[in-house]
A = this chain, B = another copy of it.
Amino acid sequence: MDQADIPDITHQSHVFTDGLLLDCGVHLASLTVAYRSYGTLNAERSNAVLICHALTGDQYVAERHPVTGKGPWWDQLVGSGRPIDTDRYFVICSNVLGGCMGTTGPMEPRAPGEAPWGTDFPPITIRDMVRAQKRLIDRLAIDRLFAVIGGSMGGMQVLEWAATYPEAVFAALPIATAAYHSAQNIAFNEVGRQAIFADPDFNGGQYYATGRVPAGGLGVARMVAHITYLSEQALNRKFGRKLQGSAAAPLAMFGDMFQVESYLQHQGSTFVRRFDANSYLTITRAMDYFDLAAEHEGDLSRAFAGTPTRFCIISFSSDWLFPTAESRAVARALNKAAANVSFVEVESDKGHDAFLLDEPDLRRIVAGFLSGCAAHAGLDPQ
């Protein structure tokens, strides 16, 4: 497979020429943060909502994607008249640090005119991602975000925002997430990484000059991750043991005999057209590192001591990647810190992916929480 199309897009971005000091000790000489915004910042600059994207998401939260041509990835929640209402809020979404849609990451040149970082890109943390976002928010002259919202790895960023910049977050909505990455989740990420390493086109991470990308390895990584995003019920309902329409022989040895195989292969092959393998390595590592309690002497409640932020924590009953128990642990730590917190487990059989899908309960909860918070924040209703 040829080089991905990613580099050819001109993204809306801000450049921070003083760079960014990372948790690992490396000082990035220059920082670029690519982002999109929707709606209008009010005169008080108090209606900004930051949306944090997940592992393979990006800033195109409420518009057609420039690479895939697909619709907005959070159409369920973001837009005019939606729960995160772009008529009411100034919605910002930035590509994460380490990403591949314009923000500083492994496919960017180490310095102007030099070769891309590749695997020499320094390891980053969720906190580094949040620090980069904070630079953007400062540049936009926003002192306090009305809300920070995200699911999965986006939810990790929400928790980190509330812990690191409590005064800058009025309301926090971490969805389908956890305060640390579990051994099982690390294990699945490691399988994906090993699949990428095993692909000869990976070429030690310096594949940019070869005109080839490790499509096989990255595709396998995406396939295994995708299984973890779905519930067993969802897979059974969608595919069960149904055969492909074109399956000639009932006992074909190879090829996509079962529909679920064809679906997964499609997920893998479309993914590699829009995502960079080194970014995948960097970002999965950042998720694995994440352990918010460890950043606070092993006591998660200390991360939120004295927090002024209002929290609404949402989990999904069939999510086995970030099970409800992990959201409940966050809610318990917030209670211990005497924070203002509500916690809802949404009944759904769609698995982890439910946060991206049509879930009326999710829409109602987000709309209700934000409306209540808007009243408390003194935001004028429309």
Residues of A bordering B, CB below 8 Å: 23-24, 119, 121-123, 125, 180-184, 186-188, 190-191, 193-195, 197-200, 216-217, 219-220, 223-224, 227, 230, 232, 235-236, 238-241, 249, 251-254, 257-258, 260-261, 264-265, 268, 281-282, 285, 288-289, 291, 294, 320, 323
Contact = CB atoms under 8 A, between A and B. Distances in A.
A216 B214 CA distance: 14
Contact of A183 (B193, B195, B239, B252): B239
Contacts of A235: 182-184, 187
Contacts of A268: 194
B216 A260 contact: no
A133 to B, nearest CB: 20
Pairs A-B, 3 closest by C-beta atoms: A198-B216, A183-B235, A123-B251
B241 A291 contact: yes
Given A191-B227, A191-B264, A289 B251 contact: yes
Contacts of A198: 195, 198-199, 216-217, 219-220
Contacts of A236: 182-184
18 contacts: A182-B241, A183-B239, A184-B236, A186-B261, A187-B227, A187-B261, A187-B264, A190-B260, A190-B264, A191-B220, A194-B219, A194-B220, A194-B265, A195-B220, A198-B199, A200-B200, A224-B224, A251-B289
Contact of A182 (B125, B200, B217, B232): B232
A88 B188 CA distance: 44
A156 to B, nearest CB: 14
A338 to B, nearest CB: 27
A290 B195 CA distance: 28
B182 A253 contact: no
A117 to B, nearest CB: 11
**Counting chain B CB atoms within 10 Å of each CB, which of A184, A199, A281, A291 scores highest?**
A184
Contacts of A253: 119, 121-123, 281-282, 285
A186 B289 CA distance: 31
A258 B188 contact: no
B186 A251 contact: no
A254 B106 CA distance: 14
A241 B119 contact: no
B260 A191 contact: no
A273 to B, nearest CB: 17
A169 to B, nearest CB: 25
Contacts of A219: 194, 198
Contacts of A294: 241
A194 B224 CA distance: 10
Contacts of A254: 119, 193, 197, 281
Nearest to A180: B241
Nearest to A26: B251
A140 to B, nearest CB: 29
A121 B251 CA distance: 12
